A and B are shown apart, each in its own frame.
Chain A
Amino acid sequence: MQTLKLNRGDIGVLLRGGSRPIRSWSEQWDAQRLALHLGVIVVGAGSYGAAMGWWRDPLQAAYVAAKFPLILLLTAAGNALLNAMLAPLLGLNIPFRQSFLAILMSFTMAAAILGSFSPLVAFLVWNTPPLSAGMHISRAAYSFIQLTHVAVIAFAGLAANLRLMHLLRDLSGDAGVARRVLLAWVAGNLFLGSQLSWILRPFIGSPGLPVEFLRATALNGNFYETVFRAARHLLNFD
C-alpha cells in the first residue's frame, strides 16, 4: 500500500482540488494529516478572526482569533453524526470517517482562503478610523467593513463547497447524488453554524459595549428568533 507522506504541498493539492489525492485522504485516518487540517483551520480562521477583531481592540482580536476556528470545529463535530447518516440515505454510501474528513477538508480550504485574506482585511482595518470606545465611526465605514467580511467569508465558503462538490461527485459518480448530499450538508452546517456564531458573538464588536469573549446574553435567544423578530418589526406586525 502506498504510504501517504505529509508535505507542505498538501494544502495546495486541497485548494486545487486534485480529486485522486483528496479522495485517498478521505478514505483513511491519518493523524498527521488530521493535525495539518486542524492546524490550518486554527491558524487560517484564527488569523482572519484576529484581523476582524483588531478593529475594535487587540484583546478583541485575540478573542475572535479563538472563536472563529471554534465555530468551524464545533460545526463539523456537532453535525458529524447527522451528516454521516444523511450521505447514505441520499445515495452516497460512505462511512462516518469519510463524511467527517470530507467536511473537515472543505472547512480547511475555507480556513486557508480566509487566512490568505487576513492581511488584506488587517490592512483595510488599519486604514479605517478605530472602533475603540468613545470614538465616532461613520455608518458608511462600519457597513463597508461588514460587507467586506460578508464577501470574503461567502467567497471562502463558496470555493470550499465547490471543491467538496467535486469530491462528492468523484465518490458517488453521480452529479445528482453529489448535489443532494452537498445541499443537505450545507443546510445543516449553515443552520448550526449560524447559531454557534450567534452564541459566540461579538466578532467585530461595538464601541458602545465592552470588549468580552462572550456577551452576558450569549444564551438568550437565538439567531433565527432575532431574524424573525426583526422581520416582524420591519413589516409592522408588532
Chain B
Amino acid sequence: MDSINPIPPQVPPQIPPVAPLYPAAPKPPGETPEERAPIPNLMTVVEAILRQPQRVMYQLRQPGAGRLIALMLLAALVCSLVYGVVVGTFSGGSQLWIAPVKIAGGLFVSVLICLPSLYIFACLSGSQARLVEMFGLVAGLLMLMTLLLLGFAPVAWLFSQSTASVNWMGTLHLLFWGIATLFGLRFIEAGFSHSQARSNAGFNTWVIILILVVLQMTTALRPIVGTADSFLPKEKKFFLNYWGECLKSSPEGSLAAH
C-alpha cells in the first residue's frame, strides 16, 4: 500500500552562494616578468613604487627583501629631510635644520611605533604576511608619502615666502601631508589585500591609529613651522586642544609656539 511519508528526505538545505567579502581581488604580485624584475638601486625603487607597485610588493616577499627596504627607507629619509628644509625656510635660522630633523624623525618614529600593531591586526585578520613584509609595506608607505611631499615642495616653498601666517602654513603642510598619506595608504592597502586577510577591519583601524599618531607627533614635536626657545615643547598637549588654541589665539598666528 502506498503511503505518504510526512518526513521529507534527509537532503541538506542548499546554501545560497555568498558574495565574496572583497570583490574581484587584484592579481597577485609577480604575475608578469616585469613584476618579477629585481629592484637594484634607488632610482629603480622610486620608479617602481610610482609605476609598478606590484613589483615592489613581489620583491618584498622574496629573500633579501632587506636591501629593498633599506633603499626605500633611505629614499624616505632624503625626501623628508629635503621637504623639512623647505618647511624650515618659512622661519629660517635654526629652523632650517630643526624642521627637517623633526619631520624626518617624527615620520619615522610614528611609523615605527605603529608597525607592531599593524602586524598584530594583520595576524588577527588572518593575513599570511610576515613581519618583514609588513615592515616593507610600511617603508613603501613612508617612501611614497615623502616622495609626494617632495613633489609639493616647490609649491610649499613659494607659499612659505609669501605669507607670515603660521596657521596658514601649518594648514597647507597638513593638506599636503594628507594628500601624500592618501596615496601612501593606497599602496599599503593594496599590499595588505594580497596577504589573504579575511577582513579589512583591522587594517582600517590601524590606518586611523597611524593618522592620529602622526597628528599627535606634530604637536609633540612643536614648533615645526614656527620658532621657539627650546627644541621640544615644555607642556604636553593633545593635538586637537593645541589646534584650537592656535586658531583662537590669532587668525594670523604667531611665529612662536607653532
Contacts and interface: CB of A to CB of B under 8 A. Distances in A.
Given A93-B51, A195-B162, A199-B162, A82 B168 contact: no
Interface stretch (B15-23, B125-133, B143-151, B224-232): B143-151
A79 B155 contact: yes
Interface residues of A, number: 27
Interface in B132-166: 144, 147-148, 150-152, 154-155, 158-159, 161-165
A143 to B, nearest CB: 27
A82 B157 CA distance: 14
A96 to B, nearest CB: 10
B50 interface: yes
A192 B158 contact: yes
B159 A222 contact: yes
Contacts of B183: 89
Given A88-B50, A89-B50, A225-B168, A82 B152 contact: yes
A67 B162 CA distance: 17
Interface in B226-258: 251
B242 to A, nearest CB: 21
> Nearest 7 CB-CB pairs, A to B?
A82-B151, A78-B154, A219-B162, A81-B151, A88-B51, A88-B50, A222-B163
Interface of A: 77-79, 81-82, 84-86, 88-89, 93, 188, 191-192, 195-196, 198-199, 218-222, 224-225, 229, 232
Interface of B: 50-51, 144, 147-148, 150-152, 154-155, 158-159, 161-165, 168, 183, 186, 251
